[in-house]
């Protein structure tokens, strides 16, 4: 005979209570993990040497670029081998505005974002007719052509040609230079921008635009039949993705203090793609894991053997893909799911 509580809820009370308890435990676990990460991120620059702070700032820069690539490839299903080009546009925007026009470095970030959004949107329009390997080939051509264009003599006055442009590292503003050295300041500066862009990406994915992008990825014909303007959304996805990557390039130029055409070869686009796969395609937090891989694993491989650094890097990459086909993010998600079930 059903109890009064079962009649009111339409089902057994105990399983519902257990489910609610498990959900609450999982939420508490997520809050604890997030709090630990935030505290660790704040403490890190005060407990580390400047070079490690510089490396972690690079990790955040690459994480922003991979986050943008994930919006395009993981969320919208468009494959790109050319995001190194948008990274270069953002980097040169910062260098030219700061060193030649005297623009404060803070203003170069939104300018680079807008410029790269427009460039990505315009590139996405003719690419609408391309899919799969043909789109990959078009973006590959973009990545290969960009460094060569930056070396051309008509642009040398602006780009510095093969010699590049040196950027002066900014000090902390508002009197914070008494507490933070330039490396620590750029770390926090990049951290704040990275957190904002992650929040923005999460909101894009959860919005109507994000649902439309995923619908196009999963079934473009069905999406069109439901009234989704696939052309506009796919071009917009390219623009948003390029904006994220351009902001990353802008930050990267400020952090490294130097830009040159040979810094933005096709290898950069491949590195971003590797970071995307390692972190987990379609999983936004995986951008940080992928960035950690592409910054630190090459150094580990070189420490093992300088002559065979490339071979060891390839071994690490194959091992991760073999052991975690869904990326390191897949392992973490499955591990967290087990912990939640235990709780």
**Do the domain assignments include residue 24?**
no
Number of domains in the chain: 1
Percentage of the chain exceeding pLDDT 90: 53
Mean pLDDT is lowest, of 13-27, 205-219, 234-248, for: 13-27
What pLDDT is attached to residue 126? 82
Q: Which residue has the higher pLDDT, 174 or 192?
A: 192
The answer to whether 163 and 260 are in contact (CB under 8 A) is yes
Find the domain containing 63 and state its range.
51-264
When pLDDT is cut at 50, 70 and 90, the band that residue 322 belongs to is: confident
Tokens standing for residue 324: 């975690």
Nearest alpha-carbon partner for 256 in 98, 150, 100: 98
196 inside domain: yes
Per-residue pLDDT of 63-78, as tens digits, reads 999 999 999 999 998 9
Tell me the pLDDT tens digit for each residue of 77-99. 898 999 999 999 999 999 999 98
CA–CA distance, 236 with 121 (Å, rounded to integer) = 6
Interval 279-296: pLDDT, tens: 988 888 889 999 999 999
Where does the pLDDT of residue 130 fall: very low under 50, low under 70, confident under 90, or very high at 90 and above?
A: confident
The pLDDT value recorded for residue 31 is: 66
**Residue 5 pLDDT:** 44
Residue 154 lies in a domain: yes
Q: d(Cα 146, Cα 185) in Å, to the nearest integer?
A: 31
In a domain, 251, yes or no: yes
Burial 1-35 (b: 16+ CB within 10 A, else e): eeeeeeeeeeeeeeeeeeeeeeeeebeeeeeeeee
Tell whether 304 is covered by a domain.
Answer: no
pLDDT at 133: 85
The CA angle 48-53-54, to the nearest 5 degrees, is: 150
First to last CA, the chain: 31
Mean pLDDT of the chain: 86
Q: How far, CA to CA in Å, does 60 sit from each of 91, 146, 268, 331?
A: 15, 24, 15, 21
Higher pLDDT, 252 or 305: 252
CA–CA dist 115, 72 (Å, integer):
18
Residues 6+ apart with CB under 8 A from 153: 161
> What's the rounded mean pLDDT across residues 244-253?
97
- 34 is a domain residue: no
pLDDT digits (tens, 9 = 90+) for 2-45: 444 444 444 444 445 444 444 444 445 556 766 788 888 889 99
Nearest to 291 by CA among 277, 275, 306, 309: 275
**Residues 153 and 3: beta-carbon distance below 8 Å:** no
For residues 59-66, give the mean pLDDT. 96
Q: What is the DSSP string of 105-137?
A: HHHHHHHHHHHHHHHHHHHHTGGGG--THHHHH
Say what the pLDDT of residue 26 is.
Answer: 44
| Lowest-pLDDT choice from 68-72, 127-131, 151-155 | 127-131
117-144 mean pLDDT: 89
- Cα separation, 290 vs 296, in Å, equals 10
* Residue 319: inside a domain: no
For residue 245, give the 3-state DSSP assignment. Answer: helix
Residue 177 covered by a domain = yes
Rounded mean pLDDT, 267-286: 91
Residue 338 has pLDDT above 90, yes or no: no
* DSSP label at residue 166: E
Q: For residues 250 and 56, what is the distance between their CA atoms, to the nearest angstrom?
A: 16
- pLDDT of res. 333: 75
Global pTM reads: 0.88
The whole-number pLDDT of residue 328 equals 77
């Amino acid at each position: 005979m059903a109890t009064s509580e079962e009649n009111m809820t339409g089902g057994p009370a105990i399983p519902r209570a257990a489910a609610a308890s498990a959900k609450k435990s999982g939420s508490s676990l997520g809050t604890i993990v997030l709090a630990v990460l935030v505290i660790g991120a704040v403490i890190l620059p005060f407990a580390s040497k400047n070079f490690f702070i510089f490396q972690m700032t690079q990790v955040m820069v690459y994480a922003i670029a991979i986050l943008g690539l994930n919006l395009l490839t993981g969320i919208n299903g468009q494959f790109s081998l050319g995001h190194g080009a948008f990274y270069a546009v953002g980097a040169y925007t910062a260098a030219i505005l700061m060193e030649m026009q005297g623009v404060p470095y803070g203003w170069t970030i939104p300018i680079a974002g807008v410029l790269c959004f427009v460039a990505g949107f315009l590139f996405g329009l003719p690419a609408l007719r391309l899919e799969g390997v043909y789109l990959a080939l078009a973006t590959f051509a973009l990545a290969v052509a960009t460094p060569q264009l930056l070396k051309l003599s008509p642009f040398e006055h602006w780009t510095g040609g093969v010699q590049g442009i040196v950027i002066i590292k900014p000090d902390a503003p508002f009197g914070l230079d008494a507490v933070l050295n330039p490396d620590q300041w750029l770390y926090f500066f990049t951290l704040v921008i990275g957190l904002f862009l992650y929040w923005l990406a999460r909101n894009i994915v959860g919005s109507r635009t994000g649902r439309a992008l995923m619908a196009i990825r999963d079934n473009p014909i069905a999406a069109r039949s439901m009234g989704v303007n696939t052309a506009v959304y796919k071009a917009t996805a390219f623009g948003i993705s390029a904006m994220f990557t351009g902001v990353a390039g802008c930050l990267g130029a400020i952090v490294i203090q130097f830009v040159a055409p040979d810094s933005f070869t096709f290898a950069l686009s491949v590195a971003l793609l590797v970071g995307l796969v390692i972190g987990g395609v379609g999983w936004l937090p995986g951008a940080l894991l992928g960035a950690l891989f592409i910054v630190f694993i090459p150094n580990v491989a070189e420490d093992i053997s300088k002559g065979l650094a490339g071979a060891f890097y390839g071994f690490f990459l194959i091992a991760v893909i073999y052991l975690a086909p869904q990326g390191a993010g897949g392992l973490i998600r499955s591990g967290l799911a087990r912990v939640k079930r235990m709780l």
